[in-house]
Chain A
C-alpha cells in the first residue's frame, strides 16, 4: 500500500493536504496512466488485463479523481483521465510525506536515531515564542552596547 500526500493546486502552487493511501488496483491504474499519458476507462481496462469488470475500473478512476490524483475531461461522452503529477513529482511528494509523517508522529514513531536541532517540531505556543523573542532582542542590545566578545 502506498501512502502519500495528495496535492491541491491553487494558483499554480502545490501544497500538501491530507495523507492518502492507494490500494493495489489504484497503484496499477496510476502506473498505466503514467505510461500512456491519458486514457479512458476502456483503455485502462484493456491495459490491466486482469479480467476485471468495467464498473470496477470506472469506480477506481473516479475514486482517484476524487482523491485529487487525476484530472478528467469529457470527450465524446466519455471521460479521459490523466495523472495530475508526474511519477517524479509523485515520488518526491511521497517521500516528503514520509518525512513529515516521521517527524510528526506520536511518541513511538519519533524513536529515530537522529539528533534533531529542535526536538518535537510541531505547534509552538505563539505567545511563548514572542516572549522569547523579546528576551533575545533585549540581550542582543545589551551585548551590542557592551561590545562583548
Chain B
C-alpha cells in the first residue's frame, strides 16, 4: 500500500498505539492476579483507585509514546518526500488499532444511548423533586420496582422509585443517599464511561474485564465506607437499607429475570463488611489524590525522561522506519 506523508503518520500512530497498547495490556493482564491480591490488602478507596489506574495504564502508556515520541520524531526527522509503501505489519497493526478504537467508541455510544433512554423513561414515569438535606436533585419514578441509583456524568441526579422512598426509614434512606453521593464525588459514572471509551487490548477481547469488575466492587465498598464515615450506627443503617431493598427485589420474581449472581461480592459481602466495626472506621482513611493515581504519574514521568534523553527521537524514528517496512 502506497501512502503519502500524512497518511503514513496516521497509519503509524494507529499501528504504534496498537502495538504499545497490546504489549502493555498483555503485561497488565498477566499481573491481574497479583494486582487483585494487593488490592485486597488496601482500603477500599485506595484499591479502587489502584485498579482504575491499572485499567488505564496501557492506554496512558500508548498515548504518551505516540504523543511524546512517535509524532514528534516523525515530524522532526521524516523527510517530506512523496510516497512510500507501507509494510504488511504496519498496515495490519494500523487496522487492528483503528478497529479497537471503533469498537470502544461504539460500546461507549451504545451505553450512553441506553442510559439516556433509561433516564427518559424514568422522567416520563416520574417527577422531579428535592429530597430534604440533599443537594443532588431526585427523580421519583412511579414504579413498584426497587430503583435507587445515581445517573449523570457531570450533573448527577438521583433516581429512585416511589416504593423505595416509602419503604426505607429516614435513617436508612439517609445512609443510602449518602452512598450514592459518594459515587458522585468519586465521579464513578464518568469512570465507567472512560472504561468503555478506552480500547481493550485486542479489538474483540475482554482480558482487562477482571480489573473493571474488581474496580466496580471496590468502588461500591468505598461508597459504603464514605457513607458510614466511621460511624457504626450509620453503617448499620446502610446495611439495613441494603437488606430492605434486596427484599423488594425478591417480590418481583415474575417481572425481573436477572438472577442475583452476587459474583462473591454483592449483597452478602457488603452487609458483612458494614457489620464489622473496623470497616466503618476504614472509611476515615483517604489517600491523597496524587497517591491514588501514582502509577499513571510514574508513566508520565518516565515518558518525559525518555523524551529528554539525547538521541531518543532518532532512535524512535529508526524504530518507526522498521515498522513501516
Contacts and interface: CB of A to CB of B under 8 A. Distances in A.
- The yes or no verdict on A and B being binding partners is yes
B267 A123 contact: no
B115 A114 contact: yes
Given A96-B141, A124-B267, A136-B271, A103 B256 contact: yes
A128 interface: yes
B142 interface: yes
A1 interface: no
A34 to B, nearest CB: 17
A149 B267 contact: no
Contacts of A99: 118, 121-122, 125, 141, 143, 145, 147
B255 A129 contact: no
Which of A16, A132, A135 is packed against the most chain B CB atoms within 10 Å? A132
Interface in B121-156: 121-122, 124-125, 141-151, 153
Given A98-B121, A99-B118, A120 B258 contact: yes
Contacts of B255: 16, 100, 104
Nearest to B110: A111
Contacts of B239: 132, 136, 139
Contact of A123 (B124, B142, B260): B260
Interface in B82-131: 107, 110-112, 114-115, 117-118, 120-122, 124-125
B8 interface: no
Main DSSP-derived SS at the A contact region? helix
Nearest to A133: B243
A106 B125 contact: no
Contact of B114 (A91, A100, A102, A118): A102
Interface stretch (B55-63, B244-252, B303-311): B244-252
A40 to B, nearest CB: 32
A23 interface: no
Contact of A111 (B114, B149, B188, B231): B114
Contacts of A9: none
Interface stretch (B23-31, B46-54, B175-183): B175-183
Given A98-B118, A139-B236, A148-B232, A114 B247 contact: no
Interface string B172-213: 000010011001100011001100100000000000000000
Contacts of B81: none
Contacts of B153: 113
Lowest 10 CB-CB distances: which A-B pairs, in order? A95-B125, A95-B124, A115-B183, A122-B258, A98-B121, A117-B148, A104-B256, A121-B249, A95-B121, A115-B150
Interface of A: 16, 91-96, 98-100, 102-106, 109-126, 128-129, 132-133, 135-136, 139-140, 143, 148-149
Given A102-B118, A118-B242, 15 more contacts: A91-B124, A103-B145, A103-B256, A103-B258, A104-B255, A113-B115, A113-B189, A115-B150, A120-B260, A124-B260, A129-B247, A132-B243, A135-B275, A148-B232, A149-B233
